[in-house]
Amino acid sequence: MDMQNVLLALGLTLIAGLSTGVGSALAFFTKKTNTKFLSVALGFSAGVMIYVSMIDIFQKAKESLVAALGETGGSWATVGAFFAGIFLIAAIDNFVPSTENPHEMRKVEDIYSKNDDNNRSKLMRMGTLTALAIAIHNFPEGLATFTSAIKDPSLGIAITVAIAIHNIPEGIAVSMPVFYATGDRRKAFRLSFLSGLSEPLGAVIGYLILFRIFNDIVFGVLFAAVAGIMVFISVDELLPTAREYGEPHLSIYGLVAGMMVMAVSLLLFI
């Protein structure tokens, strides 16, 4: 692996993970959630991730595996790795209780209204468990961002932007309950910050495990799995959350805009 690409990939993964801090800032400085903005932004993120997964990442994975295993073997391996990625992220989500799931919709004003003595211990527990859930959930996302950037830096940048947008509500989900439970902005931000670090941690561990054996087969399997992970995240988490945050059509407008932006950016790098 080119060390320059490795450093860029790690940097991009760090940016994506720490975007939870943007969500923290929104929670601290606003009393009302801008639901329309979040709906469009999450739809946009889903559009980017679905389009790039199905049009670019899946195809690159197939090309790599076909070159190593032949047309039939490579095609089957690509499809198998794609669905393995879906099953992996679905299994991770299955272990996260719905009450602490970072993708369950929460609004600043809803948490603010619950800020009383009876609810503070519950809010603190919610924030802490949500941070843990995000840390577990973001681990494969970090590997996805890192793998994409290693192979194609421009693709890695696009995926970083998409994941960074989708991490904003996660930052809100961690920092809001902790802040309203303790009144301590620093503590809330610190917990949100630490939960985001699992994303670059996933990249570092992936690099340490794979850099010695990185070849066409490893790359193809990883890329196909990454495509599956991102498609699942989009249809299971981003789009439902986007529709709940705003008017249903807004999330679809964001979805189409994300696909168009991704399509044009891929064409510009041909």
Instruction: List the binding residues for Fe(2+).
Output: 138, 141, 167, 170, 199
What token pair was written down for 96? Answer: 């996260």
The sign of the dihedral angle between the CA atoms of 52, 17, 161, 95 is positive
Contact between 194 and 131 under an 8 Å Cβ cutoff? The reply is yes
CA 86 to chain centre: 14
d(CA 234, CA 218): 24
Task: Pick the closest to residue 251 from 172, 166, 145 (CA basis).
Answer: 166
Residue numbers belonging to the annotated binding site = 138, 141, 166-167, 170, 199
**Which residue from 27, 30, 42 is spatially nearest to 244, judged by alpha carbons?**
42
CB atoms within 10 A of CB 267: 8
CB 127 within 8 A of CB 191: yes
Residues 6+ positions from 174 with CB-CB distance below 8 Å: 20, 23, 24, 102, 127, 130, 131, 134, 188, 191, 192, 195
Residues annotated in a binding site for Zn(2+):
141, 166, 170
Kindly report the number of other CB atoms within 10 A of residue 173's CB atom.
Answer: 28
In the block, tokens 């720490």 appear at: 18
